Chains A and B, each alone.
Chain A
Amino acid sequence: MILKRPTLRWWEKTYFPAVAKGMLLTFRHIFRPKVTLQYPEERWALPPRYRGAPILLTGLDGKEKCTSCKLCQFICPPEAIKIVGGETEDEKEKFPREFTIDMGLCIFCGYCQEVCPVEAIWLKDQYELADYDRDALIFPKEKLLKMGRKPPYLPGKEKPLEE
């Protein structure tokens, strides 16, 4: 594209009209509504399928749904998930004796949720996971289950499951 250079009149060549125009613009911006989100007090409305911290879900019987198949552990790209399996008298026969997710390693990719055959692991809307201690970022099973107490959303139906 060829831009034609405008021929300036003498008063335009003094810069003053252009400067005044710019100054007026910036002055008007002073009174515009602010775009800053004052974070700790104000927060974004998260989209319903926001991918935050992965947590563990409980079934209708109040026990964790996980059957310790370790698919999530195998697919996890940064190897943040560690599972120690165990046997149970329940119908599902297997359960995770230990289930830890290192939130310091987790990249919130959501592969674990995608790969889980029983919808036991889910990326929920929690994102404030920072801590001063690295070890405190390794979340044990109990904590993950507690974080998942409120059921998240079903894919397709963007509303909470009944407990």
Chain B
Amino acid sequence: MNAMLPILVPALVKIVVILGIVLTGVAYTTLAERKVSAWIQNRYGPNRVGPWGLLQPVADGMKFFFKEDITPAEAYRPLYLLAPLGTLIPALVTFAVIPFGTSMTIAGEAHPLVIAPSMNVGLIYILALSSVGVYGILLAGWSSGNKYSMMGSLRGASQVISYELAMGLALLGIVLATGSFDLSVIVDSQKGGWTSPWFIVPQIIGFVVFTVAIFAETNRLPFDLPEGESEIVGGYHTEYSGLRFAMFFMGEYANMITASALIVVLYLGGWHLPFLDYGWFGPVWGGILSMAVFFGKIALLLFIFIWVRWTLPRFRYDQLMGLGWKRLLPLALVNMVLLATFYLLMGRPS
């Protein structure tokens, strides 16, 4: 047991920190969503609970606690009760491999700011988990015993399957460039200088494909067909109420944060800023600053997520499938062939 402690304690501390940041982030993303949507519609948004409405998420949470938790008579109870966890947990567990800062030296020991450091299958782990996430949606819709929920979950499943392919192919471009599935290596190979730019520059096609696909994976507008309220009531969570509905809600926003983190790690240089070396700030402050930069980038992407939601209308179902299979998939293939040719002729950047 004592031999385990030096590994266990830092990992636990990191887990607590990350869970704290992500869950607070989830709460405040809901507020940001309401605020930004209000601003875009020339309104103020929630501004009554606390200064500038900053305590609104607390009030919302309290409300969810006191709501009745209804199980429909037609529902298949065990899965109905379990399904909300199926969307929240994969979104949170993904953060285990996401490097959220440079390594921090505390008491003479270097701690890389990842929960599971140097996991050499990080990218595959993420792809696997993002597919597991759809089970929550599928089970919720199926076990509700409601035709609209069923429709929503079927849409969710087909959407995730359609867009996962393009997403995976876009990711292969990154693997080609770095020769590794390890996210720390991927981050370190895009320091942001002239020689190792962020991957958004050399792989702009891959970035576009990945971003569009991840919008579809997180069921965000313009791809929110699984919960298209104007067509199928509330989609897969029609029958849910109270805390269980809150869990779906949190799952959606946790997914958004995870997706933003992925985009940052894979295409926007992780915690790196161009021409900035965290060594200048010392071992501790450098680590904290790198975390701040990382989460700042995530916040910016979350704003874009919200901004897109309140700009674009929902796709028609055939348009969604058409875009996934007939546009994104060929585009991702072209991107891969181009990159492969390029790296074959020019040699891989180390």
Report whether B42 and A23 are in contact in the complex, using a CB–CB cutoff of 8 Å: no
Say if the beta carbon of A32 comes within 8 Å of chain B: yes
The binding surface of chain A is classed by DSSP as helix
- Pairs across A and B, CB under 8 Å, 6 listed: A22-B311, A23-B311, A29-B42, A30-B40, A32-B42, A35-B43
Listed from nearest, the 8 A-B pairs whose CB atoms lie closest are: A30-B39, A26-B311, A26-B40, A22-B311, A35-B42, A36-B43, A36-B44, A29-B40
Question: Distance (Å) between the CB of A163 and the closest chain B CB?
Answer: 40
With A26-B307, A27-B307 given, is the CB distance from A19 to B312 under 8 Å?
yes
Chain B residues closer than 8 Å to A36, beta-carbon distance: 42-44
The reply to whether B312 and A34 contact each other, CB–CB distance below 8 Å, is no
Which chain A positions have C-beta within 8 A of B40? 26, 29-30
B36 within 8 A of A: yes
Contacts of B32-71 to chain A: CB distance below 8 A:
36, 39-44
B 253-266 binary contact with A (CB < 8 Å = 1; else 0): 00000000000000
Residue of B nearest to A19 (CB): B312
B76: chain A residues within 8 A (beta carbon): none
A38 vs B39: C-alpha distance when bound (angstroms): 15
Give A14 Cβ to nearest chain B Cβ, in Å.
Answer: 8
* A33 at interface, CB cutoff 8 A: yes
Q: Tell me whether A33 and B42 are in contact (CB under 8 A).
A: yes
A19 to B39 Cα, complex, angstroms: 19
Q: How far, in angstroms, from A140 to B108 measured CA to CA in the complex?
A: 82
Q: Which of A3-48 contact B (CB under 8 A)?
A: 19, 22-23, 25-27, 29-30, 32-36, 38
Q: Which residue of B lies closest to A16 (CB)?
A: B208
Chain A residues positioned under 8 Å from B36 (CB to CB): 30
Q: A33 contacts which chain B residues (CB < 8 A)?
A: 42
| B121 at interface, CB cutoff 8 A | no
Q: Does B325 contact A (CB under 8 A)?
A: no
- B-chain residues with CB within 8 Å of residue A27 when the two chains form the complex: 307
Q: Are A34 and B43 in contact (CB under 8 A)?
A: yes
Complex Cα gap A34–B39 (Å)? 8
Most buried by A among B36, B39, B307: B39
Report the Cα distance A148→B308, complex, angstroms. Answer: 54
| Residue of A22, A23, A29, A38 touching B44 (CB-CB under 8 A) | A38
Query: Which residues of chain B are near A26, meaning CB under 8 Å?
Result: 40, 307, 310-311
Task: Name 9 extra pairs, CB < 8 A, besides A26-B307, A34-B43, A35-B43.
Answer: A19-B312, A22-B311, A23-B311, A26-B40, A27-B307, A29-B42, A30-B36, A33-B42, A36-B43
Q: Is the CB of B312 within 8 A of A29?
A: no
Residues of A within 8 A of B42 (CB): 29, 32-36
CA distance A36 to B47 in the complex (A): 12
Of the listed residues A22, A30, A32, the one surrounded by the most CB atoms of chain B closer than 10 A to its CB is A30
Contacts known (A19-B312, A22-B312); A29 close to B307, Cβ less than 8 A: no
| Chain A neighbourhood of B44, CB < 8 A | 34, 36, 38
**Alpha-carbon gap, A26 to B42, bound state (A):** 10
* Closest residue of B by beta carbon distance from A22: B311
For B222, give the chain A residue with the smallest CB separation.
Answer: A19
| Most A Cβ at <10 Å: residue of B43, B44, B307, B311 | B311
A35 — which chain B residues lie within 8 A by C-beta? 42-43
Nearest-neighbour CB distance to chain B for A28, whole angstroms, equals 10
In chain A, what residue has the closest Cβ to B313?
A22
CA distance A36 to B40 in the complex (A): 13
Closest chain-B Cβ to A2's Cβ sits at a distance in Å of 24
B76 to chain A, nearest CB (A): 40
Contact A29 B39 (CB under 8 A): yes
CA distance A19 to B222 in the complex (A): 11
Q: Which of B297-327 contact A (CB under 8 A)?
A: 307-308, 310-312
CA distance A62 to B39 in the complex (A): 53
Query: In angstroms, how far is the closest chain B Cβ from the Cβ of A22?
Result: 5
> Would you call A23 and B43 a contact (CB within 8 A)?
no
In the complex formed, the residue of B with least CB distance to A23 is B311
Provide the B1-41 mask, 1 if CB < 8 A to any CB of A, else 0.
00000000000000000000000000000000000100111
With both chains docked as a complex, state the minimum distance between the C-beta of A10 and any C-beta of chain B, in angstroms: 13
Q: Which residue of the partner chain B has the closest CB to A29? A: B40
Q: How far is A23 from B39 in the complex, measured between Cα atoms in Å? A: 13
Q: How far is the CA of A35 from the CA of B39 in the complex (A)?
A: 10
Alpha-carbon distance A32/B41, docked complex (angstroms): 9
Docked pose: A36 CA to B44 CA in angstroms: 7
Among residues of B, the one whose C-beta sits closest to the C-beta of A13 is: B327
Q: How far is the CB of B329 from chain A (nearest CB, A)?
A: 15
B308 near A23 with CB under 8 A, answer: yes
A113 to chain B, nearest CB (A): 37
A42 to chain B, nearest CB (A): 11
Shortest Cβ distance from residue B242 to the other chain A in the assembled complex, whole angstroms:
27
